[in-house]
């Protein structure tokens, strides 16, 4: 605890009077009380007045109480590093064998498309007759998509494979198309023409890639469509 030095009395005694070196009285009895009061106030302002015993006792009690409370507080255990890591059960695996997501707001297959003027005076491409089932005499299969905002130009590619078509190798590319997406573009489309000899009945898949070129890292997802048999298409 901080201790202040003891200060000598302002006078030699209430019944005595301090005298100057020359022996002349410094203060008379009537002025002595005023002098003591003024000097006491001055010492108090400078913080030189001794602390009252009662205040010291209260301070000691407060410190003891605070220390007791601090000792009673429970100590938090060290958290495990697993608490700061993403749990595997919370991770949603991206399915490259399903329609692409991520930068694609929506994507659908259709028999055609048309352009509309958007509310921001931009040309928007919208699908016409969305479907995933086409006739064997279809002139083309369209894939129309809408994108989220992007900050770089890139290309969207579509590569068509005969997934379940009699007489065709599933690893053979039967059609492909690409579209350059500028910075201001928000929609686009891919147009897949029928292979040589026309569409054969069966199921086809279209790999959707995005980037500067097609590679193992550019795959975004997979679309699928079916070419109906000629009899079923005629009956429909």
* Domain 104-235 annotated CATH 2.60.40.1930: yes
pLDDT grade for 57, boundaries at 50, 70 and 90: low
- CA 77 to each of CA 68, 80, 85, 86: distance values in angstroms, whole numbers, following the listed order: 21, 9, 18, 21
Residue 7: other Cβ atoms inside 10 A: 12
End-to-end Cα, the chain, rounded Å: 100
Residue 82: other Cβ atoms inside 10 A: 8
Closest CA to 195 of 235, 223, 167, 219: 167
Q: Which residue has the higher pLDDT, 90 or 134?
A: 134
Are the C-beta atoms of 207 and 191 separated by less than 8 Å? no
pTM: 0.61
Hey, where are the domains in the chain?
1-77, 104-235
Of 66-70, 101-105, 222-226, least confident by mean pLDDT is 66-70
Distance of CA 18 to the CA centre of its chain: 79
Q: Which residue has the higher pLDDT, 85 or 61?
A: 85
Q: Mean pLDDT throughout 169-196?
A: 94
The per-residue pLDDT of the chain, averaged, comes to 79
Q: What is the pLDDT of residues 199-215, one digit of tens each?
A: 999 999 999 999 999 99
What pLDDT shows up at residue 180? 96
């Amino acid at each position: 605890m901080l201790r202040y030095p003891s200060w000598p009395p302002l006078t030699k005694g209430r019944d005595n009077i301090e005298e100057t070196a020359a022996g002349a009285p410094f203060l008379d009895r009537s002025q002595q009380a005023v002098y003591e009061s003024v000097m006491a106030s001055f010492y108090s302002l400078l913080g030189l007045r001794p602390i009252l015993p009662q205040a010291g006792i209260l301070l000691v009690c407060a410190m003891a109480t605070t220390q007791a409370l601090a000792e009673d507080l429970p100590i938090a255990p060290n958290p495990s590093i697993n608490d700061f890591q993403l749990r595997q059960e919370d991770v949603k695996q991206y399915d490259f064998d399903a329609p692409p997501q991520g930068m694609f707001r929506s994507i659908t297959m259709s028999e055609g498309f048309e352009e509309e003027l958007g509310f921001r005076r931009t040309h928007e491409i919208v699908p016409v007759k969305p479907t995933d089932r086409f006739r064997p005499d279809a002139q083309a299969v369209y894939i129309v998509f809408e994108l989220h905002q992007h900050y770089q130009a890139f290309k969207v590619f579509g590569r068509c494979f005969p997934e379940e078509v009699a007489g065709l190798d599933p690893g053979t590319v039967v059609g492909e198309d690409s579209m350059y997406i500028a910075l201001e573009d928000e929609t686009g489309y891919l147009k897949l023409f029928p292979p040589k000899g026309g569409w054969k009945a069966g199921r086809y898949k279209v790999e959707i890639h995005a980037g500067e070129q097609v590679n193992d890292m550019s795959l975004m997802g997979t679309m699928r469509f079916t070419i109906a048999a000629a009899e079923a298409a005629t009956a429909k």
